[in-house]
């Protein structure tokens, strides 16, 4: 059996590199926490890698973006629902247009939770290892999970090896 085509979507990070006014950088390079470094390492081993940004929505990891200071944790419930709907719509287009079999969502309960109401509308299996893996019991374990090469999409033969499938398209 050939391995599934996996798209990884990670949440943005609160801490960011300092950029000169008006400057931008690749989305994956903007965030500088140790947690993001682990998520980034995992994402780079996927067939497609995107970031869900509180400011920019769903962005390809190489898209140039500017520094911002916004998190879902500071947004109203209504704004989070609108953000989740917008990101899910963009993600559905990416998954369908690029023929992904599964999407791995790696991030906090807030970010993944904002997308949860839209899982059934995504045209691929949805995996949320940080929320469903028995191994991941906190951020430290989540980082270890991302760093474990055995979990990387290139090293699995079926989506279920990555984590519990939440939704099938």
Instruction: Give the three-class secondary structure for 166.
Output: strand
Tokens, residue 104: 């791995």
* Domains of the chain listed by start with CATH number: 6-167 (3.40.50)
- State how far the Cα of 76 lies from the Cα of 87, in Å rounded to an integer: 16
pLDDT at 158: 65
Greatest mean pLDDT range, 17-21, 33-37, 84-88: 84-88
Q: How confident is the model at residue 1, as a pLDDT?
A: 53
Burial (Cβ within 10 Å: 0-12, 13-18, ≥19) of residue 104: buried
pLDDT above 70: residue 95: yes
Res 167: pLDDT: 44
CB 130 within 8 A of CB 112: yes
- Average pLDDT score, the chain: 90
Give the pLDDT of residue 168: 42
Confidence of residue 4 (pLDDT cuts 50, 70, 90): confident
pLDDT in tens, 32-79: 999 999 999 999 999 999 999 999 999 999 999 999 999 999 999 999
């Amino acid at each position: 059996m050939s391995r599934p085509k996996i798209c990884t979507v990670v949440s943005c990070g609160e801490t960011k590199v300092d950029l000169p006014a008006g400057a931008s950088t690749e989305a994956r390079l903007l965030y500088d926490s140790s947690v993001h470094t682990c998520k980034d390492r995992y994402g780079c081993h996927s067939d497609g890698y995107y970031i869900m940004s509180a400011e920019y929505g769903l962005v390809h990891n190489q898209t140039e973006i500017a520094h911002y200071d916004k998190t879902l944790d500071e947004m109203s419930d209504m704004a989070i629902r609108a953000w989740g709907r917008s990101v899910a719509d963009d993600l559905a287009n990416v998954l369908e247009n690029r023929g992904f079999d599964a999407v791995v969502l790696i991030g906090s309960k807030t970010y993944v939770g904002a997308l949860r109401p839209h899982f059934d509308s995504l045209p691929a299996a949805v995996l949320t290892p940080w929320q469903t893996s028995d191994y991941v019991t906190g951020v430290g374990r989540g980082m270890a999970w991302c760093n474990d090469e055995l979990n990387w999409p290139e090293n699995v033969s079926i989506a279920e090896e990555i984590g519990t499938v939440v939704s099938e398209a």
